[in-house]
Chain A
Amino acid sequence: AQKVTQAQTEISVVEKEDVTLDCVYETRDTTYYLFWYKQPPSGELVFLIRRNSFDEQNEISGRYSWNFQKSTSSFNFTITASQVVDSAVYFCALSDHYGNNRLAFGKGNQVVVIP
């Protein structure tokens, strides 16, 4: 069973529009961690955020924001006022005891920002 689901494979937006990436996870554990990574065309995965299961506060970092909802097992990511440099693949990942603390990645969201 897929532990992390990122349903939207490719999303195209026009520059300055907002874009929200959905991440739905599945775990039996009460303690777990969620992550988002960005993979630009250069290939390197860049760490964006880590959130533990006891911290449901939403977070904002510049144009990026994250909405963690335990009730719906979701950890969604929004880019506000998108820019061409935001064009990348974004991965959501889960670390839990059931998975031996390893990272379980979603399939990723390809975001294309059109100038």
Chain B
Amino acid sequence: DVKVTQSSRYLVKRTGEKVFLECVQDMDHENMFWYRQDPGLGLRLIYFSYDVKMKEKGDIPEGYSVSREKKERFSLILESASTNQTSMYLCASSLSGSLPLGDTQYFGPGTRLTVL
């Protein structure tokens, strides 16, 4: 079974703090993804990575950065958290590199971040 884990289920931070969300997958997947999920807006892609040290912007990268130093780990960084970044953050991974068509993504349990 594919296992994607996220470092925290719930996180509360203050405005202006630097926030790290960590994601680890144990299936040697090439691709990793960060989404945010908001009521009425569905899931939106923030960033993804198809290889170590590689990253691609998704639909809403503003205010976020990412880091992938090891294949199994993908970090989402909020350089200076703001209240409009309060959301559910979901990490996912998929097997094949370079994001081929139809590659199935497997998701972690999510981190519910609140920025006060």
A interface, CB within 8 angstroms of B: 31-33, 35, 37, 42-47, 50, 52, 91, 95-97, 100-103, 105-108
Known: A44-B110, A106-B42, A108-B42. A101 touches B100 (CB 8 A): yes
For B, the interface residue count at a CB cutoff of 8 angstroms equals 24
**Additional pairs, 4, CB under 8 Å, beyond known A44-B108, A108-B42:** A43-B88, A50-B104, A101-B99, A102-B99
Measured between beta carbons, the chain A residues less than 8 angstroms from B90 are 43, 45
B109 touches A43 (CB 8 A): yes
B40 nearest CB neighbor, chain A only:
A107
A47 touches B106 (CB 8 A): yes
Bound-complex Cα distance A35 to B107 (A): 13
* B contact face: mostly helix, strand, loop, or mixed: loop
Measured between beta carbons, the chain B residues less than 8 angstroms from A106 are 42
Known: A43-B112, A44-B108, A45-B90. A107 touches B42 (CB 8 A): yes
Selected A-B contacts with CB under 8 Å, 13 pairs: A33-B101, A33-B102, A37-B107, A42-B109, A43-B9, A43-B88, A43-B109, A43-B112, A52-B102, A95-B103, A102-B45, A106-B42, A107-B40
A97 nearest CB neighbor, chain B only:
B101
Picked from B45, B58, B107, the residue with its CB within 8 Å of the CB of A44 is B107
Q: Is residue B43 within 8 Å, beta carbon to beta carbon, of the partner chain?
A: yes
Bound-complex Cα distance A106 to B44 (A): 10
Q: Which 5 A-B pairs have the closest CB atoms?
A: A33-B102, A45-B107, A43-B110, A44-B109, A105-B43
A91 touches B99 (CB 8 A): no
Interface string of B52-73 (1 = CB under 8 A from A): 0000001000000000000000
A51 nearest CB neighbor, chain B only:
B102
Measured between beta carbons, the chain A residues less than 8 angstroms from B109 are 42-44
Max chain A C-beta neighbours (<10 A), residue from B48, B102, B109: B102
Known: A43-B88, A44-B110, A45-B90. A103 touches B42 (CB 8 A): no
